[in-house]
A and B are shown apart, each in its own frame.
Chain A
């Protein structure tokens, strides 16, 4: 297995506020990870934690302020738009809103053929490629004549997948691929992505806040909080034994579709700190049930132990409960 993507200490800053009182905030605050071909990596975190910004940075849609991004051993964060373009056909992006990311004035056939036109690929015949791609994503050739508004959410998502795989990419970045889809359609889209990944040997980054989705599709996962990874590791392992308190709280909060299920939750104060006023020390300390004096002043390192990386002074043991347990009904 070779690394297709190598992210090192990536930071993204945004300038905010009125002209004279301009301040910069860190949207992504030093993220590193590797992705291997054929691997699915999930990034989990709440809205505003920097997931989408990170995805845009990888794809070159967002400039980074420090760090480096290597795709297939070539450094891409320093490339200009012109030199980035041939690489973009090897990494495609699926944006959040399935219908909104399709032009309402183009038919599905044209939408699927568009990547070929944009990249000037003339040796592929659209009248062959479009039906082939449609059938790959489980749609009949007749869909080529439809407009996006004539598609259901799940069908629009399939068209988005067809566009993303049109140029045979090595990497797909899917931003909330199942958001707004119903559970039955969610399953279809995830099965499709899993299936394509196996058949085409794709690497995939899935950005989501749905933990059930992560559990079923991702090999490895990262939990993001205020623009940083707080825990990275094997998905099964993290679900079995989360080591960062935020991960543990997220997993314990996940609502289950059973009205009688006993709930043993780790309650967190709901106040998420602002990116303009990052807490000192460990940035999770203001919400952490296990907070200790050291956490308030000293930022933890991102420590690797076996297959797991955790940013916490005292990572949790299996089944650890908060000091003052609050059991919610």
Chain B
């Protein structure tokens, strides 16, 4: 079953300089019990995508077309009250900065109790559940930790507290937005291993946003590559990392300093700039920076299924 199915999603923002087409014809699925990674440069629409799913688009933003089906129900048609019920219960989030996600003046235990206000449990049951959850994310001395405040935890522990809170209500979908960016390599790895373990335990799906290709390769089952508000390639992590079919995905992987085996003073880059999203080119959005450009790129590129589950939005990506 598919937990989240996004189909032909289009989001625009009205700005002083005209309408900004932030997401264009975005389609992908988050299947049950899978971790789907979203990669792309800043400004490619990752945050807009999350906000659209959560029903938290800014006032000047609107979903112009397409659907976001969560467990079969189209979120774009739900009212604010219904969305509020889903958030934190069925869909929860972990953000890059855990300090910003935790209330600095309430103890962790109090915040974790508050999350369970709909559960109908007694106060001591709620606290016991909080403690168990902290233990599960390997916070030492979990009972005492409940009485502590967010600033009393280290960065890595704080992020684990945030993960515990996000998974408290056993959501069907966890959205993790760059959750390890602020951590060093050892804590980053520990955090993604923990996420993987909890995801299997709770049997939820995860939408994992990152621009760290190494973390995506290690954690995710499937990958969605975004560029300038479009999904240019999607497939299993192996398909996309081993045989990228969209020129942008290929270049992005080549650019990762981790791919340079020998030490080099000159790292590869992608020359050119992302187009102005208020004036999208009529054809392929990557054409101006693409080194394989052909005449057909002036027309809207098709979504080519190069293999089962592996789709690239490029005229050159014929099926094998």
- Give me the interface of A with B, judged by CB distance under 8 Å: 45-49, 152-153, 179-188, 190-191, 194, 209, 211-213, 215-217, 235-236, 249-251, 253-261, 263, 265, 267-268, 270-272, 274, 328
CB closest residue in chain B, given A48: B155
The reply to whether A250 and B155 form a contact with Cβ atoms under 8 Å apart is no
- B218 to nearest A CB, angstroms? 5
Contact A187 B140 (CB under 8 A): no
Partner pick for B267 among A180, A182, A187, A256, CB 8 A cutoff = A187
Contact A47 B183 (CB under 8 A): yes
Report Cα–Cα, A153/B40, bound state, in Å. Answer: 14
25 contacts between A and B (CB under 8 A): A46-B155, A48-B154, A182-B40, A183-B213, A183-B252, A183-B257, A191-B265, A212-B258, A235-B263, A249-B186, A253-B188, A254-B214, A255-B215, A255-B217, A255-B218, A256-B258, A257-B213, A257-B259, A258-B217, A259-B218, A270-B138, A270-B157, A270-B187, A272-B156, A272-B187
A190→B182 CA distance, assembly (Å): 20
Closest to A276 in B: B152
Report how far A185 CA is from B269 CA in the complex, Å: 7
Q: Does B105 contact A (CB under 8 A)?
A: no
List the A side residues contacting B256 at CB < 8 Å: 183, 212, 257
Q: How far is the CB of A41 from chain B (nearest CB, A)?
A: 16
- Within the assembled complex, what's the spacing in Å between the Cα atoms of A257 and B212? 8
Is B253 interfacial (CB-CB < 8 Å)? yes
- B268 near A255 with CB under 8 A, answer no
The count of chain B contact residues (Cβ–Cβ below 8 Å) is 54
Q: Tell me whether B125 is interfacial, beta carbon within 8 Å.
A: no
**Interchain CB contact (< 8 A) of A152 among B140, B268, B274:** B274
Are A272 and B154 in contact, with the CB atoms below 8 A? yes
A183 & B255 in contact (Cβ 8 Å cutoff): yes
The verdict on B116 contacting chain A, using a C-beta distance below 8 Å, is no
Q: Is B59 an interface residue (CB 8 A)?
A: no
Output the least CB separation between A287 and chain B (Å): 9
Task: Report the minimal beta-carbon distance from B246 to chain A, rounded to whole angstroms.
Answer: 14
B264 in contact (CB, < 8 A): yes
Cβ–Cβ < 8 Å partners of A274 in chain B: 154
Q: Which residues of chain B are within 8 angstroms of A267 by Cβ–Cβ distance?
A: 190
In residues 143-172 of chain B, which contact A (Cβ within 8 Å)? 154-157, 160
Knowing A187-B257, A255-B218, A328-B193 are in contact, say whether A216-B265 is a contact too (CB < 8 A): yes
Residue of B41, B43, B186, B273 near A268 (CB, 8 A) is B186
Q: How far is the CB of B314 from chain A (nearest CB, A)?
A: 18
Write out the residue numbers on chain B whose beta carbons fall within 8 Å of the beta carbon of A216. Answer: 257, 260, 263-265, 267
Q: Are A255 and B269 in contact (CB under 8 A)?
A: no
Q: Which among B160, B255, B257, B266 has the highest number of chain A CB atoms within 10 Å?
A: B257
Q: Fill in one digit per residue for B123-138: 1 if any A CB lies within 8 Å of its CB, else 0.
A: 0000000000000001
Please give the distance in Å from A115's CB to the nearest CB on chain B.
27
Interface pair B214/A185, CB less than 8 Å apart: no
The answer to whether A186 touches B257, judged by C-beta atoms less than 8 angstroms apart, is: yes
B184 in contact (CB, < 8 A): yes
Verify if B238 is at the interface (C-beta below 8 Å from A): yes
A198 to chain B minimum Cβ distance, whole angstroms, is 8
Determine which of A255, A271, A272 lies in contact with B189 in the assembled complex, contact meaning CB atoms within 8 Å: A255
CA of A263 to CA of B190, assembled, Å: 13
Chain A residue contacts of B274, Cβ below 8 A: 152
The 8 Å CB contact of A191, one of B41, B190, B269, is B269
Provide the residues of chain B in CB contact with A152, threshold 8 Å.
42-43, 273-274
B270 at the interface (CB under 8 A from A): yes
B156 close to A270 (CB less than 8 A): yes
B residues 1-43 near A (Cβ < 8 Å) are 40-43
Contact indicator A257/B267 (Cβ below 8 Å): no
Instruction: Indicate if B185 sits at the interface (CB-CB under 8 A).
Output: yes
- CB contacts (< 8 Å) of A261 on chain B: these are 217
What 3 A-B pairs have minimum CB-CB distances, sorted nearest first? A255-B214, A46-B184, A187-B267
Complex contact A255–B266 (CB within 8 A) = no
Partner of A47, one of B155, B238, B255, B267: B155
Given known pairs A211-B185, A259-B241, the reply for A271 and B157 (CB within 8 Å) is yes
CB distance from B219 to the nearest CB of A (A): 9
B237 in contact (CB, < 8 A): yes
- Tell yes or no: B251 within 8 A of A by CB: yes
Are A46 and B251 within 8 A (Cβ)? Answer: no
* CB nearest neighbor in A for B265: A194
Which residue on A lies nearest to B240, using beta carbons? A259
Q: Tell me the nearest residue of chain A to B153, going by C-beta.
A: A274
Q: How far is the CB of B24 from chain A (nearest CB, A)?
A: 19
Which residues of chain A have C-beta atoms less than 8 A from B216's C-beta? Answer: 257
